Each structure stands twice: as C-alpha cells, then as structure tokens.
Structure 1
Amino acid sequence: MMTDKFKFEMTPETANVEPQIRLRVRDDEYCLAIVEEDLAEALLLLGDREWLGTLTIRLKRPLVGSGMFAGCCTNSLLVEVDARTVSLSVILDYPVTFSYSRLEFSRYLRRAMKELSKARRSKS
C-alpha cells in the first residue's frame, strides 16, 4: 500500500451521537461514520501496552472508491498496532496509510468516547 505523507486532520465528531472520523488528504476531506463498539474495543486494546497486532474499525456506511478503485467497497479501516506507532489504512480514491504515535491515537479515541458520552448526556 502507498503511504500518503500529506497533511491530515483527525477530529472527533458527534453528529447525531455517532462517532465519525475525518481524514484529510491533499485537498480532499473524508468524513467516515464508524461503529462505536469498535472504537471502544480499539481503546481497550491500545490501553494494554503489551498488545501488538491488527484490528479493524467498521464503517457504518460503506465507502465506495472512485478512479482506479471505482466500485471498490470499503467496509472498515485497518489498524496495525506496533509498540510505538499505529497505522490506519483505508482505500479512498487510492490506498492511503496514516501513521500516528500510539499515544496520540489513544488520546484521540479517548477524547472521542468522552465527546460521545457528553453528547448523550446533553440529549437526555
């Protein structure tokens, strides 16, 4: 897979109290709704410093590729966890891999879960 080193942004969203991940590649922005249970599981696994491996975060709505990958349907994000880094791979218009520090990615997931919890409490 090709590694894209362009600028990106990842922010938690709570539209309709559903977790979303926003990925920015070059001038394109992709907002992907993800399954909350997978978000919680990823956070739990990343909390164990001894755990290394691969996990998937399912998308609520499939992402259909375009260009060379027209018709290719992506149902999940692939997350590869090493001792200090996390790589998130997805097929957008082409295969893209985002790399983060394990700590940075864990903080992002924790913040996303807090935002979801806060949004649910305010709706009640």
Structure 2
Amino acid sequence: MPLSPIPEIIAELKAGRMVILVDEEDRENEGDLVLAADFVSPEAINFMARFGRGLICLTLTEERCGLLRLPPMVQQNRASHGTAFTVSIEAAEGVSTGISAADRARTIQAAVARNARPEDIVQP
C-alpha cells in the first residue's frame, strides 16, 4: 500500500476525515486511526473502538495539559517507548458512565474547547 504525502494527510485531517498514521517497524509497527479533535463525533469514536480495537487517546500539547492541570499518569516513565500518558479524563458534564462513544466524544470536546478550564474535566 503506498503512503500518502504529508500535505495530503494534513488536508484530509483539516477536512474532518480520519487517516491512518503508521509508525516505524522498529517502534510499535502499528497504525493509529487519527481524527482532528474538532471533528470528533460518537460515530467516529465508535468506528475507532470497533475497528481499531485499542486505546482511544486524545493528543494534547504540554501547554494544554498544563492549562487543564493534567498530571502525568506516572512520575517516572519507564515504558520502552516513553509514551507520555496523563491521568484519565472525563467531561465534568454531559456524560453518564464515560464509556459510551457519545461520552468519549463529549470528553474530547470538553478538553479541546477554546475556553476549556480545569473544572470542565474530571478524573474518573
């Protein structure tokens, strides 16, 4: 399967379409389903859960993590790839169990909202 040029991938993301990003063979050798958070929907989350069959993660900048007061999941990261997970989050309002596709989409929307505050999310 041919790889797409980076400008084409960026255009797809800006248009609200999901892409598959593949990492190196010597890393995890996997593909990640990626969607710009501005376009998240319960349907997109359901697709990721159903066909991706792995963790559904939200990528945030260090600045955004600081703004939301999200501490690292662990103080000393000794994982082989050093993935920088924060504590798990959930929207403070508009969710029930936090597990459904709709709840996960709502949590992402709350975390990336332009006016997001630490009070908008909780740690379940």
**What TM-score do you get using the length of structure 1 for normalisation?**
0.27
More strand by share: 1
- Bigger relative contact order, structure 1 or 2 (CA pairs below 8 A, ≥6 apart): 1
When the two structures are superposed, what TM-score results if normalisation uses the length of structure 2? 0.27
